[in-house]
Amino acid sequence: MATVTVNGKEVSLGEGERLNCIQAAKRAEIEVPHYCWHPAMSVVASCRMCLVEVGDKKPDGSVAMQPKVVPGCQTPVKDGTVIVTNSAKVKQAQAATLEYLLLNHPLDCPTCDQAGECFLQDYTFKFGHMQSRLMEPKELKPDKDYIGDQITLFTDRCVMCTRCVRFTREISGTGELQVINRGSHEEIDIFPGMPINNKLAGNVVDICPVGALCSKDFLYKQRVWWLKSADSVCPDCSTGCSIKVDQNNETVYRLKPRENPQAQGHFMCDDGRFGWKYIHSDQRLKQPEMSQGDRRVAVDWDTALTATRNALKDAATKNPKAVAAVFSPWMTVEEAYLLAKHLKSLSSDVRLALGPVRVEGQDDHYPKDVRGNAQEKIKFTIRAEKCPNRRGVELVLQHFQGSIINIGDILGDAAEGRIDTLYFVGGDPRGGLDESRAVALAKVKTLVVQDILPSPVSARAHIVLAGGSFAERDGTFVNHAGLAQGIKRSIRSPEEARPDGRILWDLSGRKGLFNATVFRHEIAREIPALAALTAELSCSGVLLK
């Protein structure tokens, strides 16, 4: 097995593993500062921040060091490589590089959105000089007026790492960004009239190590040190990108991708990144409601849940074949399990169906070539199936019922008056059943709708249960490839609305509080297909067999 020595600490490499000095040092828990290198993109070794001393251990045990410092990102390690990151020579090189990068940096940290998560700040603090020796005025380039709908470029803050340029060339393939001019006049720019508006554009903000590229959506909304993050999963397509939900005072301000090689890699698409605004919509269902005569009135949760529980129980005793439930592919595994278990415990004849799965167009693969066609080696996919947990809900339904009933069958039966009681779970913020299909539910005698936004279905409901969005719930989503990932609650639901897990927990008459982490145990024990769900899902999730 190959062994590499980093600052006297030995780390071993796996079989056939190809690492550079930065990665090898990271394995030894030693940080090598870097700007231009990014694990998902090609190496240019242009920022010179990762300079380290590298040498070889000879068979006789002596070490031969190279006479000068070399960029760690560009230097692969092999058996016997010796890396030194803490010598005076390396420290001097790091400090000198930082001093150079800061020469023409405006140091406008107070007004810069990146301050607090800026690598220029962090590295200067850890590796740099305290003061600048520059006596001449700084050469500051004017900011760009417009480079894209979501992106703004503060040219003066840029350190020319070219990560963004390589991203548009290698990951999105759209190639909007480029370096114009040469030498100290270098800047990032677009070709005139060709703005960066591709569906992965938001990622250049994340990969920018300084505050040059900022998101217009988030610009000046919050200082980043006020934000509290919770690990979650993007609910906008079945890729299930690992994300962080950043919130402060019960308001979500942004979503950021979280690195997860099992799910999507390092990035996320703009549909997901900016698609969460419905969470704070004024239209949200905020309290349970029940119809009294022609009107619908707000009631408290005890009343609504008791009414729902009794209605389901009575209907299941009288004629269980006329009771059905529609499960949403936005439900978590835990919620689907709770509802399915409760209804099947009333009667095994209750029918459980999978709700409308929204599919828009084709899977969108990146990188693209100049004509907009996907290239052969796919690095990112935005899936056509716009819901996060179809697979998870299907696994639960298959366990309880053997097969999955189509929503069409339920609607057909409902239109013919063969369904008396229907429990309908919505959750799709941009769709669900449209008016023409929801008409079929007119003959249902008791329609219970659990949703987050008003819809043609909730307009016909006799009982409305106000649920929670993905940022307000705990649970598990299973993506298109069978990767189960945990979502964590980051904010409270508006007003009286409750997270769906809690509603269903109370509905099924369980004691205590809904706790997804503990509850996963029960599901993993009972459903063999979900046996891989351990109590504490790791942040990268677990692949179901």
Partner 1 sequence: MPIQEKEVAWIEEPELNFWEQTFLPAVAGGLKVAVKHTVEQHSVTQQYPEEKPDLPLNYRGVHRLNRDEQGRVRCVACMMCATACPAHCISIVAEDASKDWPDRDKRPQSFVLDELRCIFCGMCEEACPCDAIELTSIYDLTGQTREQMTFDKEKLLSIYDQTKDNPRDPIRTHRGRLGCASELERQPLSATAPKPPDALRAKKS
Residue 223 found at the interface with partner 1 (CB under 8 A):
yes
Task: Decide: is 254 part of the binding site for partner 1 (CB under 8 A).
Answer: no
Closest contact distance (angstroms) between CB of 282 and partner 1 is 19
Please check whether residue 395 is in contact with residue 478, taking contact to mean a CB–CB distance below 8 angstroms.
yes
276 φ, ψ to 5°? -100, 5
Q: Would you state the structure tokens that stand for residue 524, as one six-digit string?
A: 């993993």
Select the residue interacting with partner 1 from 12, 226, 406, 430 (CB under 8 A). 226
User: Considering only residues 66, 92, 132, 317, which one is a binding residue for partner 1 as defined by CB under 8 A?
Assistant: 132
Stretch that binds partner 1, among 59-67, 80-88, 141-149, 357-365 (CB under 8 A): 141-149
Q: Is 107 in the site for partner 1 (CB under 8 A)?
A: yes
Contact 196, 151 (CB under 8 A): yes
| Interaction between residue 141 and partner 1 (CB under 8 A) | yes
Q: Out of 55, 106, 195, 320, which residue is the one contacting partner 1 (CB under 8 A)?
A: 106
**Shortest approach of partner 1 to residue 251 CB, angstroms?**
12
Which of the stretches 213-221, 311-319, 324-332, 481-489 binds partner 1 when contact is defined by CB under 8 A?
A: 213-221
Q: Three-class SS of residue 459?
A: helix
Question: Hey, how many other C-beta atoms are within 10 angstroms of the C-beta on 178?
Answer: 16
Q: How far is the CB of 96 from partner 1 (least distance, A)?
A: 16
Of residues 89, 17, 77, the one with CA closest to residue 53: 89
137: contact with partner 1 by CB under 8 A: yes
Report the alpha-carbon distance of residue 301 to residue 466 in Å, rounded: 10
Residue 406 in tokens: 């189509």
Cα–Cα dist 153/151, whole Å: 7
Q: Among residues 17, 31, 79, 143, which is the contact residue for partner 1, using CB under 8 A?
A: 143
For residue 137, the minimal CB distance to partner 1 (Å) is 5
Q: Which of the ranges 120-128, 177-185, 263-271, 503-511 carries the binding residues for partner 1, by CB under 8 A?
A: 120-128
Closest CA to 151 of 101, 208, 106: 208
Under the binding rule (CB under 8 A), the answer on residue 320 touching partner 1 is: no
Q: Is 86 in the site for partner 1 (CB under 8 A)?
A: no
29 versus 125: smaller Cβ distance to partner 1: 125
Tell me: does residue 67 bind partner 1 (CB under 8 A).
Answer: no
Q: Which of 63, 140, 535, 543 binds partner 1 (CB under 8 A)?
A: 140
Task: Give per-residue burial for 410-448: e unless 16+ CB within 10 Å, then b.
Answer: bbebbbeeebbbbbbbbbbbeebbeeebbebbeebebbb
Q: How many CB atoms lie within 10 A of CB 363?
A: 16
- Computed on alpha carbons and rounded to an integer, the radius of gyration of the chain in Å comes to 28
Binding of partner 1 at residue 403 (CB under 8 A)?
Answer: no
Instruction: Mark 326-345 with x for binding to partner 1 (rule: CB under 8 A) and - for no binding.
Output: --------------------
Give the end-to-end CA distance of the chain in Å, rounded to a whole number. Answer: 30
* Binds partner 1 by CB under 8 A, chosen from 1, 60, 131, 373: 131
Are the C-beta atoms of 116 and 225 separated by less than 8 Å? yes
Q: Is 436 in the site for partner 1 (CB under 8 A)?
A: no
Between CA 431 and CA 356 the distance in angstroms is 9
Residue 354, CA atoms < 13 Å, CB-side half-sphere: 23
Quote the least distance from Cβ 12 to partner 1, whole Å.
Answer: 32
Among 185, 220, 293, 402, interactor with partner 1 by CB under 8 A = 220
If the CB atoms of residues 107 and 384 are measured against partner 1, the closer one turns out to be: 107
- The tokens for 507 are 């509905």
If one asks whether residue 154 binds partner 1 (CB under 8 A), the answer comes out as yes
CA 130 to chain centre: 37
Could you list the residues that contact partner 1 (CB under 8 A)? Answer: 106-111, 125-126, 128, 130-132, 134, 137-138, 140-143, 145, 154, 156, 219-221, 223, 225-226
